[in-house]
A and B are shown apart, each in its own frame.
Chain A
């Protein structure tokens, strides 16, 4: 991945130096190997601190809402999954496409530091990836982990490819894989109502209502969220009751239905590790089965499943038929 990083820095420097772009959005070196921060770079010198490694999981698309309003062009590094969010935001007129220069970068799955820690490794100070092995150096010694065990959830089921690019930096070939991202959703669907309720009760009761899932979500781009609006009657800052937990997550998932690209940021950022992607994927799965396969963000044009219809659509009372609980 170091070769990709060097190439990215080189290209970014060229673009800035030539004046083609006014700024570059990428990831900046953190304190450790595993905590890079999304950042914008405006000078060639700053670019020496640009990093691209196995922990650059953050989706940079949402930052473009503000960045693309600025004077001059903005170059951005987008991983395959990020390009879907980008397209979706362009479609919703949130990003000015003409102000953005998209550099597609390869992604060989990103790692989840929490999963590494969950393997019992504490005091992590460095991480090195060699093929399918992850070598973790900690205050308490060295451990070698199996890469598939510690990749981000969104990466473990990813089959995405770049949907938009002005140029690309792809130096390694990505192995083909066959994965089913709906496997967990199907498992839940197969459960009884009581079991489903118990599962979600257990998960959602952990919610601390920090709004990280909402604020990181590229589909949640409302200027003022209904949950922040005191006049809406449902604004709340904390989970005052179990109902609030459900209300917030149901409404949020519904609001992004048909627009969620399954970028997986909500699950990545949840401090309580609630599997929020399972909410969004239920909508995606239902949309696929009721109205035909649809992937949000594949293009920057066209309608979304909830803004169109056919005369013979599934009836709401029929959605449970054949899978009665």
Chain B
């Protein structure tokens, strides 16, 4: 294991940024989100939950897909992916265990056949440096999904205490990155990391949501859960905004639209939200006409539909962003507690 003093972190960032893009939690106008590092930016690794999740780096909120140009009767389709693949790799620095797990959830969607090449290119180019949590919050419940926040995976895993950042490469990509920055590090830190893991694990055990009982969310209970009478009451206060879906690290729905430029047409995709009334709007109208149905769709997808197609893997990772951000304090925890197993009381 390697370590670097926290006051030297800026050198580390600078070193990485010399040869590739460095995305890191940066504070801007009061809020912390992943952004490209540059000298003078206010890095905030301590921030437990960035507003937008790191999925934005692999599956951006808006992504241009192709261009069309017409000349007379000819239509030219311009592939704009090339620009991206030729770019150098980039580093996502400080990804938490839940968010890392969320990328696994996205992989199962975008990398399954037919492969989403836009996502794939970004995934190939990205090196993920995770950061273990040391101060989880009341809204965290990754443990309920079997995620260990004290030792996340990723290409490189890091831990941070008051004085040092500890570094451990896990993959080939991680080794390559380590080789690039090795000079800044010294050996050591095993004991500190072990101690931190223990302390954090103890805090996680005390978190109010750590022991949510998910036992009822199984494919065989699909009909029963779908028809539960509680949905009506649970969704009553839902505004139908997209906050939960847009801050969610695993929400993966998108819409494809065209934009007319002076030169032709730009086709882009952007995040969509199943909470919206025009989501999956078709010629005949909308498939889900009430907010209750939309609300139910989101949580059924996270807890039942997705796991039934992916060997029981839930598409919620317990990051708790929706818990913090829902305008009316609705969230997945309340759904789990209402419809989940009986050990939730």
> Do A and B associate with each other?
yes
Residues in A neighbouring B271, C-beta threshold 8 A: 237-238
Total count of chain B residues near the partner, CB < 8 A:
51
Closest chain-B Cβ to A3's Cβ sits at a distance in Å of: 24
Comparing B2-10, B119-127, B174-182, B325-333, the segment that makes contact with chain A is B325-333
User: A155 in the interface, Cβ–Cβ < 8 Å?
Assistant: no
Q: Are A208 and B246 in contact (CB under 8 A)?
A: yes
Residues in A neighbouring B33, C-beta threshold 8 A: 206
User: A184 in the interface, Cβ–Cβ < 8 Å?
Assistant: no
User: B21 in the interface, Cβ–Cβ < 8 Å?
Assistant: no
| Contact mask for chain B residues 70-102; partner A; CB cutoff 8 A; 1 contact, 0 none | 000000000000000000000000000000000
Q: What's the Cα separation between A228 and B241 when bound, in Å?
A: 12
CB neighbors of B among A55-96 (8 A) = 58, 63
User: A31 in the interface, Cβ–Cβ < 8 Å?
Assistant: yes
Q: Are B237 and A38 in contact (CB under 8 A)?
A: yes
Residues in A neighbouring B257, C-beta threshold 8 A: 236-237
Residues in A neighbouring B245, C-beta threshold 8 A: 210
Q: Are B327 and A238 in contact (CB under 8 A)?
A: no
Q: Are A238 and B62 in contact (CB under 8 A)?
A: yes
Residues in B neighbouring A124, C-beta threshold 8 A: 137-138
| Contact mask for chain A residues 183-217; partner B; CB cutoff 8 A; 1 contact, 0 none | 00000000000000000001101101111101110
User: B341 in the interface, Cβ–Cβ < 8 Å?
Assistant: no
Residues in B neighbouring A119, C-beta threshold 8 A: none
User: B270 in the interface, Cβ–Cβ < 8 Å?
Assistant: yes
Residues in A neighbouring B327, C-beta threshold 8 A: 58, 212, 215-216, 265, 268-269
Q: Are A208 and B239 in contact (CB under 8 A)?
A: no
B233, B270, B323: the one within 8 Å of A238 (CB): B270
Residues in A neighbouring B325, C-beta threshold 8 A: 271
User: B203 in the interface, Cβ–Cβ < 8 Å?
Assistant: yes
Q: What's the Cα separation between A30 and B203 when bound, in Å?
A: 22
User: A133 in the interface, Cβ–Cβ < 8 Å?
Assistant: no
Residues in B neighbouring A209, C-beta threshold 8 A: 61, 242, 246
In the complex, the chain A residue whose C-beta lies closest to that of B33 is: A206
Closest chain-B Cβ to A125's Cβ sits at a distance in Å of: 5
Evaluate whether A206 and B29 lie within 8 angstroms (CB atoms) in the complex, with A31-B334, A139-B206, A140-B135 already known: yes
User: B51 in the interface, Cβ–Cβ < 8 Å?
Assistant: yes
CB neighbors of B among A229-273 (8 A) = 230, 235-240, 265, 268-269, 271-273
| Contact mask for chain B residues 10-42; partner A; CB cutoff 8 A; 1 contact, 0 none | 000000000000000000111101000000000
Q: Are B278 and A228 in contact (CB under 8 A)?
A: yes
Q: What's the Cα separation between A283 and B206 when bound, in Å?
A: 48
In the complex, the chain A residue whose C-beta lies closest to that of B31 is: A272
Residues in B neighbouring A211, C-beta threshold 8 A: 241-242, 276
User: A36 in the interface, Cβ–Cβ < 8 Å?
Assistant: yes
| Contact mask for chain A residues 157-184; partner B; CB cutoff 8 A; 1 contact, 0 none | 0000000000000000000000000000
Q: Are B277 and A31 in contact (CB under 8 A)?
A: no
User: A5 in the interface, Cβ–Cβ < 8 Å?
Assistant: no
Q: Are B272 and A237 in contact (CB under 8 A)?
A: yes
Q: Are A273 and B31 in contact (CB under 8 A)?
A: yes
Closest chain-B Cβ to A241's Cβ sits at a distance in Å of: 8
Q: Are B31 and A210 in contact (CB under 8 A)?
A: no
Evaluate whether A37 and B278 lie within 8 angstroms (CB atoms) in the complex, with A139-B203, A206-B31, A272-B51 already known: no
Q: Are A39 and B237 in contact (CB under 8 A)?
A: yes
In the complex, the chain A residue whose C-beta lies closest to that of B136 is: A123
Q: Are A208 and B276 in contact (CB under 8 A)?
A: no
Interface centre among B31, B237, B259, B276 (most CB of A within 10 A): B237
Q: Are B241 and A210 in contact (CB under 8 A)?
A: yes
User: A280 in the interface, Cβ–Cβ < 8 Å?
Assistant: no
| Contact mask for chain B residues 229-259; partner A; CB cutoff 8 A; 1 contact, 0 none | 0000100110111110111000000010101
A58, A208, A212, A274: the one within 8 Å of B61 (CB): A208
Q: What's the Cα separation between A274 and B30 when bound, in Å?
A: 9
Q: Are A36 and B329 in contact (CB under 8 A)?
A: yes
Q: What's the Cα separation between A39 and B334 when bound, in Å?
A: 14
A40, A139, A206, A216: the one within 8 Å of B241 (CB): A216
User: B281 in the interface, Cβ–Cβ < 8 Å?
Assistant: yes
Residues in B neighbouring A40, C-beta threshold 8 A: 236
Residues in A neighbouring B239, C-beta threshold 8 A: 212, 215-216
Evaluate whether A37 and B237 lie within 8 angstroms (CB atoms) in the complex, with A122-B48, A237-B271 already known: yes
Residues in B neighbouring A309, C-beta threshold 8 A: none
Residues in B neighbouring A265, C-beta threshold 8 A: 327
Q: What's the Cα separation between A268 and B241 when bound, in Å?
A: 14
Q: Are A30 and B31 in contact (CB under 8 A)?
A: no
Residues in A neighbouring B242, C-beta threshold 8 A: 209-212
User: A35 in the interface, Cβ–Cβ < 8 Å?
Assistant: yes
Closest chain-B Cβ to A230's Cβ sits at a distance in Å of: 7
Residues in A neighbouring B337, C-beta threshold 8 A: 31
Q: Are B138 and A237 in contact (CB under 8 A)?
A: no
CB neighbors of B among A91-107 (8 A) = none
Return 11 A-B CB contacts under 8 Å, by A number: A122-B137, A206-B31, A210-B242, A212-B243, A215-B241, A240-B268, A265-B327, A269-B241, A269-B243, A271-B246, A272-B51
* 6 other A-B residue contacts (CB within 8 Å) besides A123-B137, A235-B278, A238-B270: A32-B138, A37-B330, A138-B138, A210-B246, A272-B31, A273-B30
Smallest CB-CB A-B distances: 3 pairs: A238-B270, A269-B327, A35-B329
* Residues in A lying within 8 Å of B, measured CB to CB: 30-32, 35-40, 58, 63, 122-125, 138-140, 202-203, 205-206, 208-212, 214-216, 228, 230, 235-240, 265, 268-269, 271-274
* Residues in B lying within 8 Å of A, measured CB to CB: 28-31, 33, 48, 51-52, 61-62, 135-138, 203, 206-209, 233, 236-237, 239-243, 245-247, 255, 257, 259, 268, 270-273, 276-278, 281, 323, 325, 327-330, 333-334, 337
